[in-house]
Amino acid sequence: MASKELKKFTREEVEKHNTEDSLWIIIDGRVFDVTRFQKLHPGGPTVFFDEGIPGGDATEAFFGLHRYDVLEKPQYQRLQIGVIEGEEPVVQSSHIPGKVSKVPYGEPSWLSDGYHNPYYKESHRKLQKAVRQFVDEYIYPDAQERELDGKRPSQSVLDKMAEHELHAMRLGPGKHLQGRTLFGGIVKPEEFDYFHELVITQELARCGARGYGDGLLGGCVIGLPPVLNFGSPELKARIVPEVLSGKKFICLAVSEAFAGSDVFGLQTTATKTEDGKHWIVTGTKKWITNGVFADYFTVGCRTDDGFTVILVERQEGVTTKPIKTSYSPTAGTAYIVFDKVKVPVENTLGQEGGGIFVMLSNFNHERWVMCCASARSQRAIVEECMKWVNQRKAFGKPLHSLAVIRNKLAGMIQRSESVQNWLENITYQMCNMSYKEQAQKLAGPIAFLKSYSTHSAQITAQDAVQIFGGRGITQSGMGRFIEHYQRTVAFDALLGGAEDVLSDLGVRQAMRSMPKDTKL
Ligand code: HEM
């Protein structure tokens, strides 16, 4: 709001407008004429006549009931007729593009004033600034709109991401970055490491829209690496440029109605034609992120010699239909039918029968990406709760004056901090290990981290609902991010390996490494 051009009033002048026929109120040093609006107010006209409100200062009542963004909507901005002389509005929008939060624990410590950190260098900090600005300006508004209308992320956003090479960077460090100008040259391709990727994933998670987050080409993050790492040079040359430019879409199609975490229980088959030149792929896939709008499908198939991964292109015989899940259809979650689909054998990814190796090499990265996003989303909930308990009064005092509320906040902060710190440690290991070492040493720790992180997230979601009360289960207004979070938090606990399966994997990996010469 451009307060400079607005008229200046004294509080005494405002006080005179305290009737139904001329009704003004003050919110944070700004003067609003709500005479005509009173009848249109979603909270009803009567609230404007509560004690001290007509002609008075309604700041506390307002922030106890509305998010700041209400005042940013053009139809409500128009209600502002002036400001109070000698007073400056103090409350700021929480969505000033690029802004770093000053709310304690609202940012990871490396972004908080006065804290030190061994992991992040200048290029990480520069990238963080640039990506935050980009997310706040382009992605956040699109996320909020698409989450509601269920359409896939806008092509204009995907194109802008491609301009900055964000699709390529989200696949992590590697040869695919060579020759690309990463975010205007902030990071050199050979410098790009897993901390740069962590920064991008965490900034994207701040869009606060879980379905949109997956819709934003989550399918590419998990479906393209098998092509990059195991596809033939011809296949890569054809597919990779159009996917990384955001023009075509790819997804990973493994889970089925018959089997999710149990990849050996899969029933989609691929059989060779007599001339050996094609696969015939038949079967179904379920819960496939981005499947609804994908052009390419990285498909796990049963073959004569075991399990093989094959790239299927959208064609006759491939049908996809949306599955209604508890998050938005913007993710494009699909049920897919492959009805005798003819695919050239050149589309085989890796060895025939070697599909498990292709899948396993993908899992660690996929799960780690999910940990990055889960850690950041939990932190966003901590920030929401910190603001709410500070501005909301109950029993005549701010909510944070209640020990039971502080206890819940303590748990949230501890979990969010421990998840981030563990994540940074694992990320550091990834940066310093060869791919082979990562596969050997980090499958267990990443599985543990993901299961711990998503379990923490679910407790935090539950506690946040208790703190916000009815608003925590209401899709509009103060608690809308909490409602969204508690409704969608389970996705992280299931996608990329169910929580219990992953915990078990972590222990089995550890037991396998037990030294033979160790006894009590
Ligand atoms: C310029 C002033 C105001 C505007 C533009 C405004 C706008 C709105 C809007 C858009 C809602 C729907 C819920 C949301 O989106 O957050 C709402 C709800 C509400 N408003 Fe206001 N409002 C104003 C002032 C006030 C004041 C001063 C009070 C109380 C004294 C008040 C009490 C309420 C209540 C009780 C609700 C229902 C809240 C709920 O369902 O949780 N409003 N208002």
Model pLDDT, residue 2: 47
Predicted ipTM of the assembly: 0.96
**Per-domain residue ranges for the chain?**
3-84, 120-216, 250-353, 363-512
Please work out whether the CB of residue 475 comes within 6 Å of at least one atom of ligand 1.
no
Give me ligand 1 centre to Cα 78, in Å: 15
452 lines ligand 1 (CB under 6 A): no
Sheet holding 18-19, edge to edge: 7-9, 80-84, 30-33, 22-27, 18-19
Residue 76 in contact with ligand 1 by CB distance below 6 A:
yes
- Which residue minimizes the CA distance to atom 14 of ligand 1? 477
Domain 363-512: homologous superfamily in CATH: Butyryl-CoA Dehydrogenase, subunit A, domain 3 (1.20.140.10)
Determine if ligand 1 sits within 6 Å of the CB of residue 53.
Answer: yes
What pLDDT is stored for residue 263 in this prediction? 72
Check if 61 has its Cβ closer than 6 Å to any atom of ligand 1: yes
CA 415 to chain centroid, in Å, comes to 18
Largest CA distance in the chain: 92
Ligand 1 touching residue 62 (CB < 6 A): yes
| CA dist., res. 320 & res. 333, Å (int) | 9
We find that the CATH architecture of domain 120-216 is: Orthogonal Bundle (1.10)
Single out the residue of 289, 297, 293, 292 nearest to residue 321, CA to CA.
292
The C-alpha atoms of residue 462 and residue 337 are separated, in whole angstroms, by: 37
Helix 403-432 and helix 194-205, axial crossing angle in degrees, nearest 10: 150
Q: What is the pTM of this model?
A: 0.93
Centroid of ligand 1 to alpha carbon of 101 (angstroms)? 25
Q: Which residue carries 């997956």 as its tokens?
A: 214
pLDDT of residue 4: 53
Task: Please tell me the class of the 250-353 domain.
Answer: mainly beta
Residue 104: its pLDDT value, please?
97
- Parts of the chain with a pLDDT under 50: 1-3
| Among the four given CATH numbers 3.10.120.10, 3.20.20.210, 3.90.190.10, 3.30.70.141, the one describing domain 3-84 | 3.10.120.10
Ligand 1 mutation target, pool 25, 67, 70, most atoms within 8 A of CB: 70
CA 41 to ligand 1 center in whole angstroms: 7
Using CA positions, which residue lies closest to atom 12 of ligand 1? 42
How far, in Å, from the CA of 482 to the mean position of ligand 1?
19
Task: Determine the pLDDT at residue 3.
Answer: 45
Q: Name the residue of 25, 41, 91, 475 to mutate for ligand 1: max ligand atoms within 8 A of Cβ.
A: 41
> And the tokens for 248?
């075509």
